[in-house]
Amino acid sequence: MLKDITLGQYFPGKSPIHLLDPRTKLIMLVVYIVALFIASGWVSYALMLVFLAAVIKISTIPFKSILRGMKPLVMILVFTGILNIFFTAGETVWLKLGFITITKEGVIRAVFMMARILMLVSGTFLMTYTTSPIALTDGLESLMNPLKKIKVPVHELSMMMCIALRFIPTLIEETDKIMSAQKARGADFESGSIIDRAKALIPILVPLFISAFRRADELATAMECRCYQGGDGRTKMKILRYHRWDFYAFGVGALLVAAVVTLTSFGL
Amino acid sequence: MEPILQVKNLNHLYSAGTPFEHKALEEVSFSVNRGEFIGIIGHTGSGKSTLMQHLNGLLKPTSGDILLDGKSIWADKASTRQARFRVGLVFQYPEYQLFEETVYKDIAFGPKNMKLSAEEVDRRVREAAGFVGLTEKQLEVSPFDLSGGQKRRVAIAGVIAMEPEVLILDEPTAGLDPVGREGILKNIEDYRKAKNATIMMVSHSMEDVARLTDRLLVMNHSRLAFDGTPAEVFTHAEELVEMGLSIPQVTQVFLHLRKMGVKVENVYTIEQAIAELKRIRGGDVHA
């Protein structure tokens, strides 16, 4: 059950999207999100949807996997939808039931908000699905490099992120193992009051923390054995370089923003 | 005598219905008698661990059934819970599951979950500690201050304290030094004798299983490949090697001797080897 968490899971592949420079993908994600927030009419939303669908198609990531990642969002979506439907003031009243009024504007706004959340999240998922965690942190480090001038420990931050991502599956596996072991000793995680259930977590959390610290210790020793001393003077095996496809991607990004801005200024 | 544990046509699929689906167990059937010492051997990924987790109801079979004293452990919720206590399972590296402030409290975790009286919990903790050779003084220290081998004993005591009729251990001696290994194996044997308990032990040491067990189950590619006494199983030397397993070193030596024309019987333990050598040499051998 814990294995169902797909957050940040990488699907290896060789599609043009996979092969883009991670920096390009990060910048494009920002551009895409900005465009998404500028878009306000049916036509501009449709354009964003077409763009998203095209990228998903090119990436060869199965649509099902993206849908599966949406599952935890259902509650947020429903909540957003309801809030917007009931609490948006408008002129065209469609339904009036006591103190509840549903207006045309409210429904339209709810649809737009839900579409925006869905598209935002699928765009982000698409990036983590097509970019390995290492490439992603490399890209982030390279993009944040100018911040070194104001003494931000960029390399250390990206190394921490890289290690954290790397250990998510390990810790999930460990949690599963410890849970089974405690269940074998009669631990019960499924019944009882909230306080009972919270207490039942102690036999899992204590061993989990201990093993996380042990792993951290071992990793630190292993890194020091290989003379790790932070980012200074460190060279890279895979040097990031922009290629032809990256420039095409930037072109498409610029066009997308331009199109959305134009459409919005016409109120479409 | 009715077998204490019966496994019938057990099948288990992981991630059923997804592209990651794979068979972990296929048509596994066997039965276990009270007081037996059973060794389970098999290559990594052959389904040993999955099989073990079925025997106390941690995993639910995709199809097939497990009977404890003739009653399915999946008959109702109470039976499943009973199976957890009557079939004790010690995982690999069990010391990583310790969590309490003192050794005493950690061993008491299982019996307390059984909702026993305070006196009964106390009796069981002290008895279990005795089986694995922990002193009164050690009961009051933090388990995290103990050595690796002692932590392992505490973890095993935590399961023994539930007084399971079937005790299943996954490589209980992995990563221990020779003295620690012998100690733990002796503790297990002591528990079996004292309680007439059934022991099922996963091991990669052919020497250990040949010496200790009455019966061997050999897992290969999710199936039960062999089920018999060590003597019977080790006659299939070639098949075992093909499965990525082996036979005890002393058995290999004696097989070789036979090929060279020396008239010796097959042996599986050092003791048998000494006896056999004495027989053919006329009592003139020193161990």
Interface residues on A facing B, Cβ-Cβ cutoff 8 A? 177-178, 180-188, 202-203, 206-207, 210-211
Q: Give the sheet arrangement for strand B63-68, strand by strand.
A: B22-32, B5-14, B63-68, B71-72
Lowest-confidence region among A7-11, A69-73, A167-171, B25-29? A7-11
Q: Is the pLDDT of residue A6 over 60?
A: no
DSSP letters of B118-167?
Answer: HHHHHHHHHHHHHHTT--HHHHTS-GGGS-HHHHHHHHHHHHHTT--SEE
Q: Is residue B141 part of a domain?
A: no
Asked if residue B21 belongs to a domain, the reply is: yes
Check residue B162 and give its pLDDT.
94
Furthest CA-CA distance within chain A: 72
The mean pLDDT of B255-267, rounded to a whole number, is 84
**Least CB-CB distance to A180: which of B53, B114, B159?**
B53
Same domain, residue pair B170 and B233: yes
Query: What are the angstrom distances between the C-alpha of B134 and each of A55, A198, B75, B146, B154?
Result: 63, 31, 38, 11, 8
Asked whether residue B111 is domain-assigned, the answer is no
Are A184 and B159 inside 8 Å of each other by CB? yes
Given B88, B91, B159, which is nearest A177 (Cβ)? B91
Q: How far is Cα A248 from Cα A254, in angstroms, rounded to an integer?
A: 10
How many angstroms separate the CA atoms of B49 and A116, rounded?
Answer: 46
Complex prediction ipTM: 0.86
| Whether pLDDT at B108 is above 90 | yes
Q: pLDDT at position A39, please?
A: 86
Could you give the CA distance from residue B69 to residue B262 in angstroms, rounded to a whole number? 48
- Enumerate residues 6+ apart whose C-beta is below 8 A from B277: B264, B285
Confidence check: pLDDT of A83 > 90: no
Banded model confidence at residue B283, pLDDT cuts 50, 70, 90: low
User: Lowest-pLDDT range, A5-14, A156-165, B18-27, B192-201?
Assistant: A5-14
CA A48/CA A202 separation, integer angstroms: 47
As a whole number of angstroms, the distance between CA B66 and CA B68 comes to 7
Q: DSSP assignment, residue B214?
A: S
Assess whether B179 and B231 both reside in one domain.
Answer: yes
The model's pLDDT over B151-201, given as tens digits with 9 standing for 90+, comes to 999 999 999 999 999 999 999 998 888 888 999 999 999 999 999 999 999
Predicted confidence (pLDDT) at residue A77 exceeds the cutoff of 60: yes
In the block, residue with structure tokens 């408008």: A90
Instruction: Indicate whether B225 belongs to any domain.
Output: yes
Measure the CA angle with vertex A157, ends A66 and A155; round to 5°: 115
pLDDT of residue A1: 41
Q: Are residues B170 and B272 in the same domain?
A: no
Average pLDDT of the segment spanning A6-10:
61
Enumerate the residues of chain B whose CB falls inside 8 A of the CB of residue A188. 113
Pair B66, B73: CB distance under 8 Å: yes
- Enter the pTM of the model: 0.76
A21-37 pLDDT per residue, tens: 999 999 999 999 999 99
Helix (H) or strand (E) holding A36: helix A22-38
Q: Which residue range is the domain that position B194 belongs to?
A: 5-97+164-240
Q: Would you say residue B282 has pLDDT above 80? A: no
Domain containing B70 — which CATH number? 3.40.50.300
Residues B58 and B93 in one domain: yes
Q: pLDDT category, B87, cuts 50, 70, 90?
A: very high
Res A250: pLDDT: 92
Domain boundaries, chain A: 2-131+240-265, 153-225
Number of domains in chain B: 2
> A1 CA to chain B: closest CA distance, Å?
10
In the block, residue with structure tokens 């010492």: B37
Residue A7 has pLDDT above 60, yes or no: no
Q: How far apart are CA B206 and CA B26, in angstroms?
A: 24
Query: Which residue would you say has higher pLDDT here, B168 or A268?
Result: B168
Tokens of B93: 């590296």
pLDDT of residue B285: 57
Helix (H, G, I), strand (E, B) or coil at A35: helix
The verdict on B75 and B176 lying in the same domain is yes
pLDDT of residue A103: 82
C-alpha separations of B14 from A59, B27, B62, B66 in Å: 28, 15, 9, 18
Q: Which residues of A touch B114 (CB under 8 A)?
A: 186
- For B107, the closest chain A residue by CA position comes to A185
Residue A232 above 90 pLDDT? no
Contact between B141 and B153 (Cβ < 8 Å): no
pLDDT band with cut points at 50, 70 and 90 for residue B17 = low
Average pLDDT over residues B265-277: 85
Contacts of residue B156, Cβ cutoff 8 Å, sequence gap at least 6: B90, B94, B132, B169, B172, B184, B187, B188
Neighbours of B99 (CB within 10 A): 21
- A12-44: burial string, b at 16+ Cβ within 10 Å, e else: eeeeebbebbbbbbbbbbebbeebbeebeeebb
Can you tell me which residue has the tokens 């306080």? A195
Of A137 and B159, which is predicted with more confidence?
A: B159
Confidence tier at B284 by pLDDT (50, 70, 90):
low
Determine the residue type at B281: R
Of B90, B97, B114, the CB nearest to A207: B97
Closest residue on chain B to A189 (Cα): B113
> Which of A189-193, B32-36, B177-181 is least confident?
A189-193
pLDDT at B18: 65
CA dist B183 to B134, B150, B189, B279, Å? Answer: 12, 10, 10, 31
Please indicate whether, in this complex, the C-beta atoms of B84 and A211 are within 8 angstroms of each other.
no
- Crossing angle for the helix pair A22-38 and A104-130, nearest 10 degrees? 180
Nearest to A261 by CA among A40, A108, A4: A40
CA distance A268 to A97: 32
The encoded tokens of residue A94 equal 């469609």
Pair (B259, B185) in one structural domain: no
Secondary structure (3-state) at A101: strand
* Number of inter-chain CB pairs under 8 A, A vs B: 52
pLDDT digits (tens, 9 = 90+) for B238-260: 888 888 888 888 888 888 888 88
For residue A123, give both structure tokens.
Answer: 């765009």
pLDDT of amino acid A186: 87
- B196 in a structural domain: yes
pLDDT, averaged across chain B? 89
Residues in B touching A180 (Cβ below 8 Å): 53, 58, 91
B27-50 average pLDDT score: 91
**Average pLDDT over chain A, rounded to whole?**
85
* B159 vs A178, A185, A206: nearest CB: A185
Which two three-digit tokens encode residue A12? Answer: 């290896």
Using the beta-carbon criterion (under 8 Å), do A183 and B84 form an inter-chain contact? yes
Mean pLDDT check: name the lowest of A76-80, B235-239, B281-285.
Answer: B281-285
Q: What angle do CA A29, A68, A256 make, to 5 degrees?
A: 25
Q: How large a percentage of chain A has pLDDT more than 70?
A: 97
Residues B269 and B171 reside in one and the same domain: no
